Structures are given as C-alpha cells and as structure tokens.
Amino acid sequence: MALHSYDLDFMHSQLGFSVVHLMITRVHGVFTSWKGEVALDLDEPSKSTVSITIDAASVDTRNPQRDGHLRSPDFFDTANHPTITFKATSVRKSAAGLTLDGELTLRGVTKPVTFEAHGGARAKDSQGRDRVGFHAHATIKRSDFGVSWSATYPGGSVVVADEVTLALDLQLIPR
C-alpha cells in the first residue's frame, strides 16, 4: 500500500476523554468541533503523518455548568488557548495496530504523548468508497499541561483525578 491522504469522517468519528470523579466513577466528554489531516501507509507506517486541531471551547460533557468550568482558566482556558493540537512525530506498527508518538499542545504547553491505535480494518460504505477505522487511546497527566484545579472533599475524595484518558475513534475516507 502506498501513502494515501484521508479525510476524517466527522459524522462517524469522535474525539473524547474521561477522568475519574470523586475517586469512584469516570466522567466522559467529547469535542464537537475539530479537524485533522491523515496520510497513511499501512505497509510502511513510518511514512504516515497525523495532525489534529480541536476547538477547545467545543467541549461537551452533557453538563453545561461543568462545560463552562472546563472552558475557564481552571482547565482549558479557552479565551487564551482556543485550540488543542496533536501532531504525530512517528508512526510505527505495533502488536495491536499502530503506535503514534507525537506532541500534544494543551493550554500552550507541548508534551510528548503516545497513542496506541487499534484497528486498521477496511470497509466499503453505501457509495462503494473505501473506509479505514481506528480506535486510539493515550493517558496523560493534566498537571503536566498546567491543568491542576481540583478540590478535596471531607473524607479525602478528590474531585478530579490528575490522570486523563484520551480516546479517538476515527473513520477515514480516502481523498
């Protein structure tokens, strides 16, 4: 397979995250506005490139009050840092699919992040176009990006954990 450029199918893809709340359950969120560019060679993944730009203010956790707090300087500080970006610096084969090493920029802080991508399955859509799908995940510490707001309730429950799981479900359409 040669290097091919792909569009991300916004209607069949999702960029999300989850974080432990009160040390007992996970709160999930998604971003509803983003764009990305992918050039993929499954035979020689090192030739592949991936970049994603997210509108940080598009965060949606199904709770408008929490979403407003996430847009504030306590978390994403969207007034000063309107985008979150990921750019792969290397792509390589792994047991499950692909490993993407790259740089994540959040709140103006850039740190290395590694996504494990599972999948690479192909299918044809109703118009006969090829599609490729991946599920990728990574874990970050939000404090590494200057996001350290939390509180401790009586009994020691932490409101928001430091560790955040990032999850990308991507369906790609060849250009």
Instruction: For 39-60, write each residue's pLDDT tens digit.
Output: 999 889 999 999 999 999 999 9
- The pTM (predicted TM-score) of the whole model is 0.92
Please give the Cα distance from 7 to 110 (Å, whole number).
25
Question: For each of the chain's 175 residues, which pLDDT tens digit applies?
Answer: 688 999 999 999 999 999 998 788 899 999 999 999 999 998 899 999 999 999 999 999 999 999 999 999 999 999 999 999 999 999 999 988 999 999 999 999 999 999 999 988 889 988 888 899 999 999 999 999 999 887 788 887 778 899 999 999 999 998 8
At residue 153, φ and ψ (nearest 5 deg) are -90, 165
At residue 32, φ and ψ (nearest 5 deg) are -100, 0
pLDDT at 1: 63
Please give the Cα distance from 105 to 50 (Å, whole number).
14
Encoded amino acid at 140, one letter: I
User: How long is the chain?
Assistant: 175
Do 18 and 165 touch, CB atoms closer than 8 A? yes
Maximum distance among all Cα pairs of the chain, rounded to whole angstroms: 58
pLDDT at 153: 80
Please give the Cα distance from 161 to 41 (Å, whole number).
37
Q: Can you list the domains of the chain with their CATH numbers?
A: 4-174 (2.40.128.110)
